[in-house]
Amino acid sequence: MELFFGSHKISGGNAAPGNLVTFSIPDLGVRFKAPYAADNTVLDYAALLTLLEFIEINPQLFTNRALELYCNNYDLVNQVKDSRVEDIELAPFLRKALEYRSKLRFSLNWIPAPDNPAQNLEIN
C-alpha cells in the first residue's frame, strides 16, 4: 500500500501556526492535514510521525499489507535510511521514526513533489 506525506509552509515559510503537516492514503481514501508550528525538515518529520501514529492506532487498516511511504524531502528519506542526522535538532524526530520502523515494517522512498498527493492537498 502506498502512503504519502508532506508539508506546506505558509506565511513565507516561517514557523507559523499556518504551516501544515499532511498525509494521503489513496487506497483508503484518507486525506489528512493539520496545523503545526515548525519549519523546514522538522515540519516533514512531524508529517512522517503523524502518519506513523495513524498507522499504529489503526492496525486493522494495514494488516498484511506492505507499507510503502513516500515523501519529497530527499534529506529526510536519507536520514531515516542511514539512521543518522547532522542537525542535532532533528535527532529526537529521527529517533522516534526509527522506533516506529522497528514496530511497523515500512519502506521509505523519495518522490518528486508534483507526484506526491500529500503535497497537492488543498490548503484552504
Cβ-based burial of 93 (10 A; exposed 0-12, middle 13-18, buried ≥19): buried
pLDDT at 19 over 60: yes
Per the structure block, which three cell numbers stand in for 46? Answer: 512531524
| Position 58 pLDDT exceeds 90 | yes
Whether the predicted pLDDT of 122 surpasses 90: no
Instruction: Examine residue 50 and state whether it is found in any structural domain, yes or no.
Output: yes
pLDDT > 70: percent of the chain: 90
Q: Across residues 67-89, what is the average pLDDT?
A: 95
Q: Mean pLDDT across the stretch 113-117? A: 94
Residue 120 lies in a domain: no
pLDDT digits (tens, 9 = 90+) for 38-47: 877 899 999 9
Residue 13: per-residue pLDDT? 47
Does 123 map to a domain? no
Determine, yes or no, domain membership for 54: yes
The mean pLDDT value for 89-98 works out to 96
109: domain CATH number?
Answer: 3.30.420.10
In this structure, is residue 93 part of a structural domain? Answer: yes
Return phi, psi of residue 37, to 5°. Answer: -90, 85
Residue 121 lies in a domain: no
Range of the domain at 79: 2-115
Whether 65 is in a domain gets the answer yes
Predicted TM-score (pTM) of the model is 0.90
Query: What is the rounded distance in angstroms from the CA atom of residue 118 to the CA atom of residue 17?
Result: 19
Looking at the 3D structure of the chain, how many domains does it have? 1
Euclidean distance between CA atoms 113 and 96, whole angstroms: 24
Q: Could you tell me which residue, 122 or 2, shows the higher pLDDT?
A: 2
pLDDT score of 104 more than 90: yes
Is residue 94 assigned to a domain? Answer: yes
pLDDT at 21 over 70: yes
If you write DSSP's letter for every residue of 1-22 in order, what string do you get? -EEEEEEE--STTSS-TT-EEE
